Amino acid sequence: MKLSLSDIRVHRDGRTILGLEELTLRDGEFTAILGHNGSGKSTLMQLMARQMRPDEGEIRLDGEPLARYGQRDLARRLAFLPQQLPEVAGLDVRELVRLGRFPWRGLVRRWQSGDAAAVDWALEQTGMADYATHLVDELSGGERQRAWIAMLLAQEAPMLLLDEPTSALDLSHQYESMTLLRNLNRSAGRGVVVILHDVNLAARYADRVIALKHGEVAFDGTPEAMLSPHLLTTLYGIDINLIPQPGTQRPVAVVA
């Protein structure tokens, strides 16, 4: 599967908040999107997930304009986790995760054992099985985020788009969620595109890093190439150094 964006411009309040020439994302790739606050990361992901249309340019999924896909058809291919999770009054975790099966159910196709298995698997993978009967709105921020990741997994789309999926997670759940996504990527060939603020998390998990600066792609390459003090300092506007991690000697970015 291939998602391509060409000659994109998004304008707001008389300024261009996103402008890019060519960008292609594929299933099988694990891509992290980095960039300072307001650099255009969510705008880019919303375009990819068809939550927003560009003012100029074209987005194609497997050669077909994104706009031409039916809702269900698109949801079978792309699963999107927004930054702001919607309120879901009255739903428990299992009911939320079951919603992930929506694209696979037609008007006449009834709930099948495969649907239940996908829901159980997603709850298990995210460590949310014990919370299945808890109301989503009564969960902690991190538990809620994991419940939504479970819903996304149940959708079984070949490409997952996640806008800051680790922002509310504690350290161990950040690494667990990223490991889960990477395992899905490695074992099932899923495409994962994830917006992150943690440069080191991106370097550890992604195969490809796209960094935005003021609405433009400032870097697109490997995590190894991204870990350059000069580039990181330019991206974030603060002096950043690299130090070797004790034990692994892997370079880690730290504020100077």
Q: Minimal distance in Å, beta carbon 83 to ligand ATP?
A: 6
- Give the Cα separation of 126 and 73 in Å (integer): 25
DSSP-derived letter for residue 85 is P
Q: Minimal distance in Å, beta carbon 98 to ligand ATP?
A: 29
- Contact range with ligand ATP by CB under 6 A, out of 11-19, 58-66, 172-180, 182-190: 11-19
- Give the Cα separation of 98 and 118 in Å (integer): 9
Which residues are CB-contacts of 87 (< 8 A; sequence separation ≥ 6)? Answer: 137
Please tell me whether residue 41 binds ligand ATP under the rule CB under 6 A. Answer: yes
The residue within the footprint of ligand ATP, chosen from 2, 21, 24, 38 (CB under 6 A), is 38
Structure tokens given for 80: 């999107």
Confirm if 96 and 85 have CB atoms less than 8 A apart: no
- Give the Cα separation of 116 and 63 in Å (integer): 33
- Contact range with ligand ATP by CB under 6 A, out of 36-44, 72-80, 176-184, 240-248: 36-44
Write the interaction track for ligand ATP spanning residues 42-81; mark x where CB under 6 A is met and - where it is not: xx--------------------------------------
Residue ranges binding ligand ATP (CB under 6 A): 12-13, 17, 35, 37-43
